[in-house]
Amino acid sequence: MRPGVRALLAAAWCSLAPGLPVTASGESSGSAAGANAVGYEPYLTAGIAVVRSSGTRFADGEDTGHAALYGSMNTYDAGALDNGLAVDIAAGVRLAPGFRAQLEFGVAHDLEYRGNTNYRSAGTHQPSEADLDISRIFLAGFFDFPGWKLPSGRNVSPFLGGGAGVATYRLSGYVQRFPDPDDPAGSLRAGPGGEIPFTAIPDGRGRNRTWMLTGGVSIPIHEKSRLDLGYRYLDAGPLRTDSGDITIVRYRREGARRQIPVPINETAAELRTHALLATFRFAL
C-alpha cells in the first residue's frame, strides 16, 4: 500500500476511534446552526490528497505550421497519472447556517504519467512517460448538512462543495520508447548494447481555467478543529506540449546512433483527476 494511502487511513482511524475525548463545545460545533449562532466563523485548513487521473490521452493539438506528431485521430498516447500526493491550504469563513466559502491553494509535484502509444509497426508495447507539476487556486463554496452521531459519540456532518479557479502546469521529461517493434531488424532496431530507440517530446507549460466538485464527511476533533475526509473531482483543462523539435533517436544497422530533430505541432490532452483527501480545519 502506498504511503499516501496509509496516511489517509491512519488519520481516519484516529479520528473515528472510540474513547478519544470530545468536549461539549466540540460536539455542538458539528451543527451548522450552532456554529453560526455567534455570527461569521473564519477558519484555516491544511490537507493532503492522494491524486490519480481518470485517464489521459495525448493527441495532435493546434496546428502551428509544423508536422503533426500523430497525424490521425486513431493514433495517440493513452495513459494515466500514477498515484501522487497533493498539498492544499485554504482560508475560509462561514457565511450562513450550513454554508461556508474559502480561497484554496494546492500544489502537486512530480506526478508521474505512464502511457502507451499506438504508432503503426512499432509493436503493441510502446511505453511512454512524463512528469507533471501542477498548482491551482480556487474560490470554493461548501454546504454542511445536519449530521449524525457515531458510536464514539462524535457528530459526523456530510458536506458537498464546488469551486472554480486557475491551474498552472508544467509537463517535462516526456519520452516514448519502442522496445518491441513489429520488425526487430527494421528502423526501430535496438542499439548494439540493447539500447531502446525513443522519441523525446518537447516540454509544455501553461495556465487553464479549472473547476472541481467535492463531497465527504466532517468529524470534530477538538473544540475548534475538525477533520474533513472526502473525495474531489478536478477538471484541470488541457495539458499541451510546446510546438518545436522532437528528438528522434534511432540506430543504424552497423550500430551507429542517430539523433534527428524534427519540428512538430503541439500535442494536447485533457487532465481530469480524482483525489481522496484528509483536511484539518481550524476555527479562528
- Statement: the pTM of the whole predicted model exceeds 0.85: no
All domains in the chain, ordered by first residue: 3-272 (2.40.160.20)
CA distance 284 to 234: 28
Q: Cell 495532435 sits at which residue?
A: 60
Q: Tens digit of pLDDT for each residue in 40-83?
A: 899 999 999 999 988 899 999 999 999 999 999 999 999 999 89
Instruction: Check: CB of residue 8 under 8 Å from CB of residue 276.
Output: yes
3-state secondary structure 162-189: EEEEEEEEEEEEEEEECCCCCCCCCCCC
CA distance 9 to 218: 15
Please spell the DSSP secondary structure of 82-112, one letter per residue: PPEEEEEEEEEEEEETTEEEEEEEEEEEEEE
Q: Tens digit of pLDDT for each residue in 98-143?
A: 899 999 999 999 999 999 999 999 999 999 999 999 999 999 999 9
Q: Tens digit of pLDDT for each residue in 240-258?
A: 999 999 999 999 999 999 9
- Among candidates 123, 259, 272, 128, which has minimal Cα distance to 208? 272
